[in-house]
Each structure stands twice: as C-alpha cells, then as structure tokens.
Structure 1
Amino acid sequence: MAYGEKVFKVRNGKKTKQYTWRARFLLPDGINYGSAPGFPTEKTAKEYGQEQEALIRAGRWIDPKLAQTQFGQWAREWMAAKAPRGRTNTTRWDRLDTHILPRWEHVPLNQINWFDAESWANSVGETHDDTTASHCLTLMSQIMTGAVDAGKLTVNPLFGRRRSRTAAIKAKNQAKMVKKQSAPATPELVLQLARRVGPLDGMHILTTAFLGPRWGEGCALTRSSRGERREAHGNGVWTCPTLQIREEVAEYQTRDPKTGKKGPMHFGLEPVKNDGSLRDIDVPPFLDDLLDQHEKRMQPHHNTLFCTRKGVWWRNSNFGRQVMRPGADGREALKATKGHAPREGWEPLLPGLTMDLLRHFHDTLQSQIGVADPLAHEQAGHVRSGIKAVYQHPTVPMRIDRLNGLQAVFEQAMENLGWERVWES
C-alpha cells in the first residue's frame, strides 16, 4: 500500500530538522517499492502514491525512469527495431544526423513538448527547405509514438499537431510557388526534347512522359518487362501491351540500421516502393510501336531498355547532366577541334525540366483526358486512400478510354509539329 516517508534535509553533511515527504508505492512486480520525492505533506505524498498504484492496476503506469530516457538513445533503439527499404532507412538517418539529433540528442523524452518542437522545426524551415523541416518533425513524432508503444510515455505530445509557419517561411514558400508556376510542359515540347537528345535516350523521355514510371522503375525495365494484359470484356477477351513494374534501380548511401554509421554506396535492384507501385502500365499503340523500334536500335546483347551506351544503368545525376540539362536548358555550339567534332548549339526548350517532372506531366495528362480515379491511381503507382479504394476498381472501358486519350494527345501533337516520325531515322 502507498504511504508517505519523511525525508530530512542535509546541510554540510549533517541532518537538519527540516524535511519533505517522499511518496512510496508498490511497483508492478508486487514486491518492490517505487518512490517520488519532494512533497510538502504526508497526505500529498500518500495520495500521489495511491494514484500510481491505481495506474499500475489499470495497466497505464509509466516508470518515471523510462520517461527520462534521452531522445537520442531511444531514437537509435527505435531505428534498430525498424526494417524499412534501404533508401528509407538512409533518409531517416540523414535527417537524424543532420537536423534532429544535434538539437534533441540529450533531451529526456518527457521534456519534449510541442512548443519547443514547433519552434525548432521553424528554425530548420527558415535555414533549409521547409519540406525538410516538416519531414524531420514527422520522423520525431513517429519516434515519440514508438516511445508510447514501448511504455516510456503515456502520450506523444507531437501527435496530430499542425505546424504553424513563421512569416519568413511563408514568404519563402510563396516565392517558391511563384517560381513553380512557370509554363508546364506540353506534348509538343516533350516530343521536341525526345527528338533533340536522340532515339535511345529520347525513348526513355517519352516513356516517362506518357506512362509515368518513377526514375528507378524506368531504369529497371528490361526487354522481358514488356507484357500483355488480358481481361474479359463483352463476349471475349480484351488485350493490350503493358510495361510490368516489378523492381527499381536504387542508388543511395547505406547506413547501419542500429548505429546509423555510413557504409558503402548501394546501386542495384530493389523491390518497388510499395504494393501500389507493383503494377502493369497499359501502353498506347504509338508507344508500343516506338518501343518495338527501340528494341531493334538497341545492341543485341543489351537487355536493359533504357541504359548507357555501354549497357549499364544510368545514374540519375549522370542522365541529368549529360541528357536532360543540355536537352532542356540548351547548350552552346562548339567548333571542331583536334579530336572533337563540331557540336550544334541548342536553344532552351524546357529549362529546369527533370524526369520527375515528366512523371508529373503523365499524371497531368491523365487528368486532362479524364482518366477515372481508380485507373489513374493504379497506372501512376499511387496508393488510393479512403473507402473508394476498396469499392472501386479499373474496368476495361476505363482502360480503353485512357489508351485512346493518350493516343489522341500524341497524334495531335505530331500533327501540330508537322511530323510524320518522332526520329528521322
């Protein structure tokens, strides 16, 4: 049973007549007693002890010693217990090392509150990208929720809170949005870009723009990734060509899951991001024909559809520097020199365009041509939320409408450009 215990103060090594009361209460093991000091009266100490015993009987008691665990210590335990995809693990450690742990490493879990966390996140948002600040706060909240689940805290003070930005962050975000509101890509410009960089790399650009695979998914496509969809329709079976998304090429700095210590760079195949990413993308007729031509242009011994001239996977940075930047941003003409042929100059076409923005272009096209939500989410590899994700499914007529819409967009763009072929040869 709980009781109050008198604790005399000590001054210069000698016990004085002044005292406070310490609460004593029976711990969950039913044998040992816990304690909490600093109460002014025996009654308040005993009442506190009785409250703790009531929480213990209800299964809601938290050991104060566990609640005083330092955030950095618990964050490492939490990270060691998780097993996300390699890239996700690396990204979490990067955020912990760069932003979170320098501020919260030695702070006890029970001393973290929303006011301090929000103020810190805003300081990160002012000096770095605001999205980074939000992601760091989200990761902190996940770790704190883990502390609740592990019986170290009763509640997560960060859970479900909406962050208020400072005026400086809002101004920076507004400037960023204005910059983003530049003219979007058009089918005509995408075709011009594909022609400019040549058929081998241009085919990668067209596939991303009209089908929307993520960068790593597109790099992982092989000759055998070209499949066929067969579904019952009317009195027969409807078929269409597909690209099967099963893996992705991932590139990142590995981290030890327990300590966060950096390991070697990883560059290889991994499972796709989530279950929604595992999909077959329906291919419109024009793109299926272009892929047939593309395979004939490829070296016979190359299996990867979109690769370097040596047949190896493109690195994202290399493709951007060697293909996208000169193709989209333009380049200066170079005269012939010893050992180098002359180079044609290119005017800017789509400054700042990236392969990720071409994926955005694909999803924008789906909205433009009215692709039904169940199919739009499936084809883009997005996980649809809500009850409609359970009840609604793509149908063959939806698929036919999407393919007809993409075909019409391509044909109209070719007509507008006055082209009969994407590439001259």
Structure 2
Amino acid sequence: MPYTEWRGGKCRVKWWAGEYLPNGRKKFESASGFEDEGAAWDYGLDREYEVRHGTAIKQRDSKTLMSAYCWDWFDAQDLRPSSMVSYKAIINKRIVPYWGSRAVGDINTFECEAWKKALRAAAERGEISAGYVREILMVFGAMMDDSATRYQLRKISPIVREKRGRGKYKKKVREKKRPQEMATLHRLAVNAYSVWGYDGWTYIWTAAFTGMRPKEMWGLQRCFASPNWPASDPLEPDDEKREPDLERYMSMPALRVQYQHQWVDGERTLVDPKYDSWRTLVVPPFLHEMHKALLASHDSPWMFRSHSGGPLLGTNFEEAYWWPIRDGCAAREGRYAREEIPAVPEMTKKRIYLLRHGHKEWLDEDRHPWVAIETRMGHELGGVEGVYANVTPGMELRIAETLQERWEKFTTEEGNVWLPPFPNPLPVDLANHVPVQVSMSASLDVG
C-alpha cells in the first residue's frame, strides 16, 4: 500500500515500484506537490495497480532525455541505407536541436501540435519543402509511438493522428503533370545526346519505356541488360532473388532489375531495389537495339556511364546532366565545347522521376492488366488480387508490342525524326533490324 507524508505544506506519496534494491529491500518511487492527501493516496494506488498489472512506467525511464533516446531509437532501426541516411539527417538537424533537452515522458500533445504548425508555416514561407516537413513528422511520429508501444517510456504517444473531417479542410496539393508525349521525350533525348552522348540518348528512352527508378538505372549492369541477359545471368541457381523462369525470356528481349546503386558507409554499393522489387522488364525491339549499340561502344560493367566513364553514383547528376537536358544551357567553348541547348518547356523544373510516372500512364492508356502494370512498376498487389493474379508471357509480350507501336507511330507520323548515329558498328547487320534508324542517321554528321 502507498503511504503519504506532508513536507513544506505539500503532500508526497510513495509506492512500491515492483523492484528490489541490492540489499533486498523494496524500491519505492514517489511524487510530490499534492495539495490534498486523498488525491496523493489515490495517485499512489493507481501506480501500484499499474505495477501489479505490468503497465507501470518507471520514472527513470520516462525521464530519459530525447538527446539519448533519439539515437537509441535510430540504432534499433533496420532500414535500407538511403532511409538510414535520411533519418540520421532529420534527427541531427531537426529533432535533437528542438527536443533534445526534454525528457521523453514530459513531451505533451500541445507541444507536438505547436511544433507541427511551426514546421508547416516554414514550408509555406518557402524555407523548407512540404515534402521534407512530412518526412520530419513521419520520423518523429514513429519515434514517439515506439516510445509508448515498444519501449514503455511513456503510457501513450503524444502524437495526434489526424482524422478526416476534423479541423480546417486543406485540399491535398498534387504535382501538376502533363501527359507524357513522345515529341517531348524526343526533345529531351536530343538534348541528352548533346550533354551526354549516346549514353544520354539511350538513358532517356530507357527511363520512359521501362519505368525504372533512377537509382535502379544507375545500378543496371551490362550483364543484366537485354542484349546479354539471361544468358549472362551471374547469380547462383538457388538464389531466391534470381528470376525463377529464365527460359521464359530467351525468346523475348528483357532486362533484369536486380539492384540499385547507393552509398553505404561511404562506399558505392549495389543494394536490393526499393521494396525488394526484383523484376524482369520486357523491352520493345527498338530499345533493345539501342542497348546493343550502347554496350558495343564501351566495355564498362555499367550500362550507363558518367562523363568520366565511371558509375553515375557520385556525380552531381541533377546539375551536370538532368538540368541542362530539361532546362537547356548556353553554348560552351573550349575543351568541352558544344552548341546552345534549347530548353524543353514541358519539363522545365520538373523531376526526371516523371518519366516513370509517364510510363505508368502509357500502360494504363493501353489497358494492360492491372497485375502486369503493377509488377512492371515494381509494386506488390495486396489482398485476394495479389494472391490469385499472375503475369503471363502473353501479357508481357503485349506490353512490348504496344510500346513498340508507340515508337513506330511517332517516327512515322513525325516524318524526318532526328536519330543519332550508332556509336560503334555492331556484330550484326542493323539494316535488317532497324532500317528507319540506319537510313535516317547515315547521313547525319553529329560530332
């Protein structure tokens, strides 16, 4: 039973914490500042009830400082390298500076709501992005939820989960997008050729016609590219991440999304793709021929090389490659001389990731089965649909056919479409495979 005592005009209550001291005596915890002895007594009874039922929060635990808890929580996470880097930066720059001196158990809901409001106000002023605010609140929310449900540092989380219909309605702001047009992609690809050579030309068409994520493209090795794979598959037969039916793709060109390229502990590392979305992507014939030409022009292990011939990871890709491609740039003289590159107005200030969005639009527009679309995009179907649905070879072939039809329609209807010369002769007669490209590029002298 608890007991109370008066000290300096205030009542204090003590109760058994459910533990014993090294000398065998019971360990007690206390709370003071009560004006009424009955209230103090009831408080002590409540704490002992929690001890008996295993729901008590030890005072020393609830007084853990956020500056310590944040990093204990971070070390307990098991996430992909890029997520760990992002979480670490958020904790360093946003959470510890604001909350570090506070005890985990002392943070209340009103303070959290005020902080959330301040972050959103900063986003409205343009000081930080709205996406960054969402990421900060997501990390902090997970941290505080775990403090209650997983680590028992407090009884409940101070985070209020917003419910529909509560508070002032704010329409969700979505990124404004245009339908992905072939003419726009062609202008991007031509600019990419000026900025980056045949690697750039092929990169734009590959992004648009496969829907691969950027870091998956950075991690695409020549052994997994359509001219070589699956004959060159380097994985062991019992590797669970390996395509289970390699024979299926012996008769239709396909590339394998096996890795993405990321920094891990300061080292360039091939890691599993996002959401463990290993997948095989059938490619249309015109893209397959581009890949053949590109691989014949170099002996790098990477499909797409940087300006220096190395991997794209580690380059300032946005500034050195993508921005000049979409926004254009002035003429340049000297060793790396080139003519002025015109902007592509439809893509100015836009993310290259929108090429992946555009690929999804095409698949939807051509009315392919949902399971084939989601699998190609690297998504996993849930529920009954995910259990029963299956991607057949016929579905994949139809996707390749509609993508090829889209390419051929563009090159036919546009007429004299500029196409770059192949970088190196191939060990096959290209005239039998892509006569339109050969005939149009043969007379061009692009240096």
**Shorter-normalised TM-score: what interval?**
0.7 to 0.9
Contact 2:14/2:30 (<8 A) preserved = yes
Identity among equivalent positions (%) equals 21
CA shift digits 1:133-158 (9 cap, x unpaired):
12111111111122121111122121
Verify: 1:213 aligned to 2:212, yes or no. yes
Deviation at 1:225, TM superposition (A): 0.5
Asked if the contact 1:71/1:108 (under 8 Å) is kept, the reply is yes
Give deviations 1:82-134, integer Å, cap 9, x for gaps: 23222211111111122222211112222323332232123222221112112
- Determine the C-alpha separation between the residues in 2 that align with 1:378 and 1:316: 29
> Greater CA deviation, 19-28 or 400-409?
19-28
Q: 1:42-71: CA deviations, max 9, x gaps?
A: 443333222222222221111133122222
- d(CA) in 1 for partners of 2:304 and 2:249? 31
- Checking the alignment, whether the CA contact within 8 Å between 1:92 and 1:139 is kept in structure 2 is yes
Give the alignment partner of residue 329 of structure 1, picking from 315, 318, 327: 327
Identify the residue that residue 269 of structure 1 maps to in structure 2: 270
Instruction: Name 2:401's counterpart in structure 1.
Output: 404
- In 2: Cα distance, 1:67 partner to 1:396 partner: 58
The 1:162–1:115 alpha-carbon spacing in structure 2 relative to 1, beyond 3 Å, is farther
In 2 relative to 1, CA 324–36 (structure 1 residues): closer, same or farther, beyond 3 Å?
closer
2:67 counterpart of 1:72? yes
Q: Does 1:87 align with 2:82?
A: yes
The answer for the alignment partner of 2:43 in structure 1 is 48
Aligned CA distance change for structure 1 residues 341 and 388 (closer, same or farther; 3 Å):
closer
Distance 1:106 1:309, change over 3 A: closer
Q: Take 1:165 and 1:93, find their aligned partners in 2: how far apart are those partners?
A: 32
Quickly say closer, same or farther: Cα 1:341–1:111, change in 2 above 3 A: closer
Q: How far did residue 316 of structure 1 move?
A: 7.0
Identify which of 3, 14, 18 aligns with 1:23: 14
State the match for 1:320 in structure 2.
318
- Deviation string, structure 1 residues 146-197 (Cα, Å, up to 9, x no partner): 2121111122121633599999x969x86xx5xx436443122213322343
Verify the 8 A CA contact 1:8 1:20 in the aligned structure 2. Answer: yes
Structure 2 unaligned residues grouped into runs of 5+: 123-127, 231-242, 418-435, 443-447
Equivalent residue runs for 1:228-239 within 5 Å: 228=230, 239=251
- Where do 5+ consecutive residues of structure 1 fail to align? 10-17, 255-264
Pick from 370, 373, 381 the counterpart of residue 376 of structure 1: 373
In structure 2, what is the equivalent of residue 188 of structure 1?
183
The answer to whether the 8 A contact 2:208-2:359 is kept is: yes
* 1:5 aligned partner: 4
Query: Cα–Cα, structure 1 residues 214 and 322, in superposed 2: closer, same or farther, change >3 Å?
Result: same
Structure 2: distance between partners of 1:230 and 1:64: 54
Partner residue, 1:160: 161
Shift of 1:307: 0.4
The structure richer in strand per residue is 1
Q: TM-score, normalization: structure 1?
A: 0.81
Any idea what the Cα deviations from partners look like across 1:299-329, whole Å, max 9, x if unmatched?
Answer: 2x32211002543012475443343333322
Alignment partner of 1:303 out of 294, 298, 301: 301
1:144-155 paired onto structure 2 within 5 Å: 144-148=144-148, 149-155=150-156
The answer on whether the counterparts of 1:24 and 1:36 sit within 8 Å (CA) in structure 2 is no
Is the 1:27–1:34 Cα contact (8 Å) retained in structure 2? no
- The alpha-carbon deviation at position 26 of structure 1 amounts to 4.8
CA contact (8 A) 1:28 1:56 kept: no
Aligned-partner residue type, residue 437 of structure 2 = R
Bigger CA drift: 28-37 or 62-71? 28-37
Q: In the TM superposition, what is the alpha-carbon distance from 1:348 to its structure 2 partner?
A: 2.0
Distance 1:358 1:195, change over 3 A: same
The answer to whether 1:390 aligns with 2:387 is yes
CA-to-partner distance for each residue in 1:375-422, whole Å, 9 max, x for gaps?
Answer: 222211234444533343323333233222212222222222224329
Secondary structure of the residue aligned to 1:393 is: coil
Counterpart amino acid of residue 24 in structure 1 = W
Question: Which string of whole-angstrom CA distances, capped at 9 and with x for unpartnered residues, describes residues 16-58 of structure 1?
Answer: xx45242323525593222222334444333322222222222
Q: In the alignment, which residue of structure 2 is the partner of 1:134? A: 134
Aligned position for 1:14: none
Which residue number in structure 1 is paired with residue 33 of structure 2? 38
- 2:421 corresponding residue in structure 1: none
Q: TM-score, normalised by structure 2?
A: 0.77
Contact (CA 8 Å) 1:205, 1:355: kept in 2 or not? Answer: no
User: Could you tell me which of 394, 415, 419 is aligned with 2:412?
Assistant: 415
Amino acid at match of 2:206: T
The within-5 A match list for 1:343-362 is: 343-349=338-344, 350-362=347-359
Whether 1:122 and 2:92 are equivalent positions in the alignment is no
Cα pair 1:231 1:238 within 8 Å, conserved: no
1:101 corresponds to which of 96, 102, 105: 96
Q: Give yes or no for contact 1:118–1:163 (8 Å, CA) kept in 2.
A: no
Equivalent position SS for 2:153: coil
1:260 counterpart residue number:
none
- Distance 1:121-1:41 versus aligned 2 partners, 3 A rule: closer
Look up the match of 2:57. 62
Contact 1:122–1:166, Cα closer than 8 Å, also in 2: no
CA distance change for structure 1 residues 369 and 164 in 2, over 3 Å: closer, same or farther? same
The structural deviation recorded for 1:217 is 1.0
Decide whether the 8 Å contact of 1:23 with 1:36 is kept in 2. Answer: yes
Distance 2:43 2:356 in 1: 59
Q: Distance in 1 between matches of 2:384 and 2:42?
A: 48
Letter in 2 for 1:218: M
| Alpha-carbon separation, structure 2, partners of 1:355 and 1:60 | 50
